[in-house]
Each structure stands twice: as structure tokens, then as C-alpha cells.
A = this chain, B = another copy of it.
Amino acid sequence: MTLAIRRLKASDADFNATLDQLLAWEGVSSHDVQQRVDDIIQQVRVQGDTAVLAYTQQFDRHPATDFNALVVSQQQLEAAFHSLPQARREALQAAADRVTAYHEHQRQGSWEYTEADGTLLGQQVVPLDRVGVYVPGGKAAYPSSVLMNVLPAKVAGVKEIIMVAPAPGGELNPLVLGAAWLCGVTRVFAIGGAQAVAALAYGTESVPPVDKIVGPGNIYVATAKRAVFGKVGIDMIAGPSEILVVGDGQTDPDWIAMDLFSQAEHDEDAQSILVSWDAAWLDQVEASINRLLPEMERADIIRTSLESRGALIQVASEAEALDMINRIAPEHLELSVADPKAWLPGIRHAGAIFMGRYTAEAVGDYCAGPNHVLPTSGTARFSSPLGVYDFQKRSSLIFCSAEGADTLGRIAGELADGESLTAHARSARYRVKR
């Protein structure tokens, strides 16, 4: 059965409305979910381990009868790593090395400067103390997520990394545990859902409270993260994954079809969009899609995703393709064109940019080096890939000389008078020379 992927032309009268509809995604939780999550958080705050254990028995059908059974030991992690086939261990290690090397470029240092009158100004940069990493269970249990969330924290210098991962029916994914061992995660708990987020945010008898929670999760996890934001830091709340491929018509259509599939196979809500000014090549890619689809293990998911949220869009020119990029602000942007560097100055919004015909988005998911945790659903307009900067924080430094206190005290006094804050004014003026 031919796959019915949308073919759009940017010149169509209703194109803008159609594209808006296609891109629309409301990640908002229902009041019902919010209420249930608030209840779970409240119970965990009051009852600690007892509540977390009860929810884990209920939601994950976990056979544990004692919270200790939810603690995963370092020995288990190490054994899981060594149980993996050698090729997989080596691939994990190679990916970890590359991700670490890339992220080391992001580490920021403290800085300061001294003004002519001796006043010192600067910023002290230090890592967070303790971070929680949420790793989903079930079909989305990805070892690559462990690497991508944990390694930037390690590079930042975070001392304690607490990982939580639900174990449906008591089962944990050995690849996930092995990746945790490889990355040097401090402690692992086999818990998930809003109860795990609450435990990390507020702490329980067993789970130490963390300063920031990162990692993807379902609607309950996302709602819980939003609820505890402020008590702890959180990363972005992720929507479905998406890719925008821009092609000049010279890349093998099979490669492009597979790149679109690789996004679509994540889940039915994933979005794959291809843009080109070469209509004949769009036809070829569509033919490749139809020829290759039956060969795919996840053909049903890919079909649903491409039919409900995918599109092949014909534009008039490269300039129109660039406009499309900035309008969509894609999580993943693949520039399958002859000179991708020439496009960079015009690109304002994209999570990650995969440049040239040889750069499959999939290498970015695993091992190229940059993070695969990226802003989704157009949030690349204001946010960035997860990085070392998310695990560092800054303190401003101000050290006035007697001379500097005189100059600054006069200015501050004048402005404090304007705001009718007279203690501010007087506190500043005490340091002004008489």
C-alpha cells in the first residue's frame, strides 16, 4: 500500500495554514494529569521511601517488597557492562570518548578584571553539587540517553550523579546499566514516573535530593518536572523528536528516505520533513520511501508518523528553503547540499545542524560528539542543546576598592533616591568619602 505522505508547495495558497497545522504541538498536560502528579509529589514529600515503593509496585508492577530492592548496586552495573558483546562495549566506549571530547570545549572558566581604581569584578564558575538523571524504561530505554545526559555533567565536574530508571516488572535494560557504569554514575535507583522526580527533588530516606533533574520521560515525568521547577533546576520539557532535511537534489534518494525513516521510527508523533527546490528529486525520494518501507522493522510506526506528521515540501529557491528552516526551528536540521557551510550565517534557529551528504542524523544520536538532547517543537528559537553549561553555575564577584566605593556609592545613592529606597542609599553612602 503506497504511503500517503503530504506533498506541499510553498507557493500553494493554503500553504502557511497547512504548515502551521502540521507543526502544531501542544505539550500541555491535562488538569487530571496535573492533579495526579501533584498528589504523587505530595505523598512522596510526606512518606518518602514508603510512597515511592508503593507507587513503583503499582505503576511498574515491580515485585520489590522493600525499598532496598530498588537500589541498583555498582556491582550490578559493572556486571551488566561486562555482559555486553565486545563490539557493543567498544562502540559504547568510543561514543563516550567522543562525547566527552566534544563537551570539553563547552566548559567555562571563572573570569575577573580589575578597574583603574582597584575595583575587581568577575564571575566565579563552579559545577553543580548533585544532579539527577531520568532514564525512561520500556521501549524507549536508550543507553545513548545515559551517555548524553551524564557525560556533560561529568565534564562540568559534578561530583554526584543519581540515575533513576523505572524497571517494568522488575526488568532493567543491561545496556542502560552498562552505560551507567561506563559513565561513572554515582548511584542508580530502579524507580520512575512522577514519584522518581519527586524523590529526586525533595529527597527521601534513601534518595538524596539533587540540585537539577535532566532527562526525557512521559507526560507524568514532564508534568512532575514542571511542578518541581524552582525547587530544583530542570532541562527542557521535550516534545516529539523531529527532523528537517533540506536537499539540493544531488544526494542519493535512498539515503534521504532512510534519514527520514530514522526520525519517524522513534514513535508515531515523530516528524520528518523534507524540503527541496528540485521537484523531480522529491519524486525520487518518495519512490525510495515506498520501495524501502516494507523492509523496515518498524514499518508501521514509520508509516503512521510520515502519514500523520511528515511532508515533502517543494520550495522555489534556496532562499525559500532557508526561510523554512528559520520558521520551523527544527530540532535536527540536515543540510544535504553541496556547500553547507555557506548556509550557516543565515540559520538562526536549529538544535543541531548536520552538514553535507555524509552526515546522517543518526551519527549525532550516538557518537559524533555533540549532545542528542536538543530543543524540540520550535523551542530552538530560545534554547540550546544540553551541554556542560547546564551543569555549571555562576556567582558574580564585586570587590570595591575604597576609591571605587566612593564613585559607585554616589551613583547608587542617586538611583536609590529615585526608587525611594533610603536604606539602600545610606548603605552605599556610608562608603563614600567625606
Of A161-169, A182-190, A308-316, A341-349, the stretch lying at the interface with chain B is A341-349
Copies of the chain in the assembly: 2
- By the criterion CB–CB under 8 Å, are B396 and A258 in contact? no
* Residue from A119, A350, A358 with most neighbouring chain B CB atoms (10 Å): A358
- By the criterion CB–CB under 8 Å, are B383 and A393 in contact? yes
Contact of A425 among B129, B362, B397, B416 (CB under 8 A): B362
Of A54-62, A74-82, A230-238, the stretch lying at the interface with chain B is A230-238
**With A380-B395, A382-B393, A427-B258 in contact, do A358 and B232 touch (Cβ < 8 Å)?**
no
List chain B residues, Cβ under 8 A from A341.
399
Contact of A423 among B92, B120, B123, B298 (CB under 8 A): B298
**With A353-B397, A366-B412, A396-B370 in contact, do A422 and B95 touch (Cβ < 8 Å)?**
no
List chain B residues, Cβ under 8 A from A374.
396
List chain B residues, Cβ under 8 A from A358.
400-402, 404-405, 431
**With A226-B229, A379-B230, A430-B254 in contact, do A105 and B95 touch (Cβ < 8 Å)?**
no
Chain A, residues 82-100, CB within 8 Å of chain B (1/0): the string is: 0000011011101100000
Of A5-13, A261-269, A273-281, the stretch lying at the interface with chain B is A261-269
CB A91 to nearest CB in B, in angstroms, measures 4
- By the criterion CB–CB under 8 Å, are A95 and B415 in contact? yes
- By the criterion CB–CB under 8 Å, are A302 and B423 in contact? yes
Report Cα–Cα, A366/B412, bound state, in Å. Answer: 6
- By the criterion CB–CB under 8 Å, are A143 and B397 in contact? no
- By the criterion CB–CB under 8 Å, are A236 and B226 in contact? no
**With A355-B120, A408-B368 in contact, do A92 and B415 touch (Cβ < 8 Å)?**
yes
Q: Tell yes or no: A102 within 8 A of B by CB.
A: yes
- By the criterion CB–CB under 8 Å, are A355 and B92 in contact? no
- By the criterion CB–CB under 8 Å, are A265 and B422 in contact? yes
* Residues of chain A from 356 to 414 with CB closer than 8 A to chain B in the complex: 356, 358-371, 374, 379-385, 387, 389, 393-402, 404-405, 408-412, 414
CB A375 to nearest CB in B, in angstroms, measures 8
Contact of A113 among B105, B254, B383 (CB under 8 A): B105
CB A89 to nearest CB in B, in angstroms, measures 10
- By the criterion CB–CB under 8 Å, are B27 and A419 in contact? no
Q: Tell yes or no: A252 within 8 A of B by CB.
A: yes
- By the criterion CB–CB under 8 Å, are B395 and A255 in contact? no
- By the criterion CB–CB under 8 Å, are A362 and B428 in contact? yes
Report Cα–Cα, A398/B254, bound state, in Å. Answer: 21
Report Cα–Cα, A143/B412, bound state, in Å. Answer: 12
- By the criterion CB–CB under 8 Å, are B369 and A121 in contact? yes
Contact of A262 among B106, B129, B355, B421 (CB under 8 A): B421
- By the criterion CB–CB under 8 Å, are A355 and B397 in contact? yes
List chain B residues, Cβ under 8 A from A302.
423
* Residues of chain A from 132 to 185 with CB closer than 8 A to chain B in the complex: 142-144, 175
Q: Tell yes or no: A352 within 8 A of B by CB.
A: yes
List chain B residues, Cβ under 8 A from A298.
421-423
List chain B residues, Cβ under 8 A from A401.
358
Report Cα–Cα, A296/B423, bound state, in Å. Answer: 7
List chain B residues, Cβ under 8 A from A254.
430
Report Cα–Cα, A405/B398, bound state, in Å. Answer: 49
List chain B residues, Cβ under 8 A from A364.
396, 398
- By the criterion CB–CB under 8 Å, are A427 and B360 in contact? yes
* Residue from A90, A128, A354, A365 with most neighbouring chain B CB atoms (10 Å): A365
- Sorted nearest first, the 4 A-B pairs with minimum C-beta distance are A370-B396, A355-B399, A233-B382, A358-B405
Known: A175-B418, A255-B431, A368-B398. 17 other contacts (CB 8 A): A27-B230, A91-B410, A105-B113, A119-B368, A211-B382, A258-B426, A258-B427, A261-B423, A297-B420, A352-B398, A355-B400, A360-B428, A363-B405, A363-B411, A366-B424, A367-B415, A385-B395
Query: Could you name 12 residue pairs across A and B whose Cβ atoms are closer than 8 Å?
Result: A91-B418, A105-B122, A124-B344, A128-B382, A229-B237, A233-B383, A261-B423, A296-B422, A355-B399, A358-B402, A363-B400, A367-B415
